[in-house]
Structure 1
Amino acid sequence: MGIKARLTRIVAVIGMLAGLTAGTFGIVELTQPQPATPPPVTAVFADDAPAPVVPAAPAPAVRVAVPTRLEVPAIDVDEKLTGRGLKADGSLDTPDFGKAGWYRPGPRPGEPGGAVVVAHVHGPDGPDVFWDLAKLQPGDVIRIHRADGVATFVVDEVDDVPKEHLPYDKIWPDTDEPLLRLITCGGKRTASGYPDNTVVYAHLASTEALS
């Protein structure tokens, strides 16, 4: 087992909805239960299916600096990154339209485990930050800028999966390897939003320290 300790567990539902005509928008909901009795999860799926429980990585012994900017040259993305935590109701404080956010309770990009970055695919003004995310190809480069340097990730896989079948163990695997996941909505947009999620899987290729 790569990570020996599991300090917390989180219930995760990732539903990037952007069907504004139906009153919905990009949302990532991560609810952290109490140890004894987990609270109910506010489902974003029509069938109110319960969310599976997935492990959250413990804080590493040595932390990397907070990420500040996301660069994805292949799809012309260059956006400031803000850390998004949990709101009082346990759901993720999602980034605004036109912005990108990283999931602060999880690993920082460059630390062991799956670091997650999310953004909308579509907003009130049309295509949003991750509009072209599904066009990424294995081998494409993703750069995460931090105060201590630049972490370069390489895309391994791009997947489109129904929201009710998200591979949580693959997004947050038990590993010592620094990984990155970019997530937005996917599939063909309907009046009620997007039925799928686009998930980009990437691994750390190099880290360039600031001189």
Structure 2
Amino acid sequence: MKGHGQRPRALAAAAVGLSGLVAAAFFAFQAVQGHPADAAPPTPPAPDATSAAEAPEPSTAPALPRSAPLRLDVARIGVRTPLMPLAKNADQTVETPPLSRAQEAGWYRLGPPPGSRGASVIIGHVDTASGPAVFSRLGELRPGDLARVLRADGRTAVFRIDSVERFDKDRFPTRRVYTDPGYPAIRLITCGGRFDRGSGHYTDNVIAFGHLVRPGGEGAA
């Protein structure tokens, strides 16, 4: 019974750990872009093997005007979730969904909304003390899978997944995640890898990269 009790507490700590991984990456991004941060940023991540600037631009649909996203649907992994807006905490780290709403994902509203030009970031937990969370199956996505985002303007932005990759938290691909690639893109982020009981965090991040293939019409699904 003692071992059984330790695991739920560990899972809760792991879910909280997502905030630290995303926050560290955001601080590194601020350093790369030359924007001031309220706290000293960590060492920027090692350069990616292929940077956003070097990667070939996929064939994309025209960018949409800004409009807040309302819902994310990813049929391949059974995700259908409302999207809460996320901004920054008081210490300037990026917010993550509260554990009380771990079955919902959130979008970083200080960046571009899904469908507009730029990299739209959507964050969700992988698990909690009570079991799997909204992005528990994110690592099962494959290139070619579709993610649909219903927007406040009635349009459904349809994205095709280009890759699903796992990164050590110390080598978070900050530039690939946050930098504008020149077209409408999406990044779905959660925790992954091995759970480190000592730190209470997972060792990695799982990130799905995708691009807009269809802007959709009003009421499109």
Say yes or no: TM over 0.5.
yes
Matched, 1:111 2:103: no
Aligned in 2, Cα 1:210/1:92: closer, same or farther, shift over 3 Å? same
What's the offset of the Cα at 1:62?
Answer: 7.4
Measured in 1, the distance between the counterparts of 2:209 and 2:142 equals: 10
**What is the root-mean-square deviation in Å for CA atoms of aligned residues?**
2.8
Indicate conservation of the 8 Å contact 2:15/2:125, yes or no: no
Amino acid at match of 2:196: T
Amino acid at match of 1:188: R
Which of the numbers 192, 195, 202 marks the counterpart of 1:189?
Answer: 195
The structure whose residues are more often helix, as a share, is: 2
Measured in 2, the distance between the counterparts of 1:173 and 1:109 equals: 14
Aligned in 2, Cα 1:36/1:82: closer, same or farther, shift over 3 Å? closer
User: Over residues 131-177 of structure 1, what are the superposed CA-to-partner deviations in whole Å (9 max), with x where a residue is unaligned?
Assistant: 00000000000000002210000000000010110111211234321
Matched, 1:201 2:209: yes
Indicate conservation of the 8 Å contact 2:106/2:123, yes or no: yes
Amino acid at match of 1:82: M
What's the offset of the Cα at 1:89?
Answer: 1.4
Partner residue of 1:132? 137
| Map 1:120-159 → 2, pairs under 5 A | 120-148=125-153, 149-159=155-165
Segments of 5+ residues of structure 1 without an aligned counterpart are 1-17, 43-48, 53-60
Matched, 1:175 2:195: no
Indicate conservation of the 8 Å contact 1:19/1:25, yes or no: no
User: Over residues 69-106 of structure 1, what are the superposed CA-to-partner deviations in whole Å (9 max), with x where a residue is unaligned?
Assistant: 00000000000001101122112222122220001111
Aligned residues: 182
What's the offset of the Cα at 1:51?
Answer: 4.3
Aligned in 2, Cα 1:111/1:37: closer, same or farther, shift over 3 Å? closer
Partner residue of 1:40? 39
Segments of 5+ residues of structure 2 without an aligned counterpart are 1-9, 46-62
When the two structures are superposed, what TM-score results if normalisation uses the length of structure 2?
Answer: 0.73
When the two structures are superposed, what TM-score results if normalisation uses the length of structure 1?
Answer: 0.76
Indicate conservation of the 8 Å contact 1:85/1:105, yes or no: yes
Which stretches of structure 1, 4 residues or longer, exceed 2 Å deviation after superposition? 18-26, 30-33, 35-39, 49-52, 61-64, 172-176
Indicate conservation of the 8 Å contact 1:19/1:190, yes or no: no
Percent identity of paired positions between Structure 1 and Structure 2: 35
